[in-house]
Amino acid sequence: MCNLKFIGIIPARFASTRFPGKPLADICGKSMIERVYRQASKELDNVYVATDDQRIADVVKAFGGNVIMTSTEHRSGTDRCYEAYQNIGSDADVIINIQGDEPFIDPSQIAEIKQCFNSTETKIATLVRKFNPERGFEALFDHNTPKVVIDDEMNAIYFSRSIIPYVRNYPWQEWLEHATFYTHIGMYAYKASTLAKITKLPQSSLEIAESLEQLRWIQNGYKIRVGISDCPTIGIDTPEDLEKARELCASLEN
């Protein structure tokens, strides 16, 4: 891995059905995008925000960050990352796609996904965490939290919004006692040559069914190496999530 060059790219768009302008939301005096950028920069020397909106670009420039403009037509962060990588003219071997709505991302998570490339066979990597049974079955059932099953070589077998695996020999009330469940952390890393290929793939039937783009890659035969992180993170999808993030930020800074 010491011979590989990494670049972190944070896709950020202003338009959002549930939360327009989310990257610019204020959290204890800093925009969300600035907090993500500064956390990522603790582990990576080369970080860019990839956006299609001048307002976001202006904010990133104001705090001294790197920003690159991209098309308004992208349907996924993966596609935006690839255009950004090309526009930057980067020679990095691995592109890390960092979620722009997780202001408390831990640098150790980025370090963990980098470690996945210690194997020369790794082309795509992502992160998961063990589900805490104390959160209860309803939290596991939440379709906004994709679940993952992993093979013995730490490759993802499948991702689903449903609960996987199905624990056949026990009533569902006892599943948490008899199986280990993993939930997905939406950070990806890709070899540059692989990213160029997967952005050209058409949507697959599994991807359309589950609305999970990583299923397109699996369905086309790509392996996704998995790293495990125990760090808690807060993804911000709604204004209500933002209030929770502000409360956490205030508690951490006091």
* Beta-carbon count within 10 A of 54 CB: 11
What kind of fold does domain 6-126+184-239 have according to CATH? Spore Coat Polysaccharide Biosynthesis Protein SpsA; Chain A (3.90.550)
Query: 165: which 2 tokens?
Result: 């695996």
Domain ranges of the chain: 6-126+184-239
- Exposed / middle / buried, residue 101 (Cβ in 10 Å: 0-12, 13-18, 19+): buried
Residues 18-55: tens digit of each pLDDT = 778 889 999 999 999 999 999 999 999 999 999 999 99
What confidence score (pLDDT) does residue 1 get? 53
User: Which tens digits make up the pLDDT trace of 181-206?
Assistant: 999 999 999 999 999 999 999 999 99
* Residues of the chain predicted below pLDDT 50: none
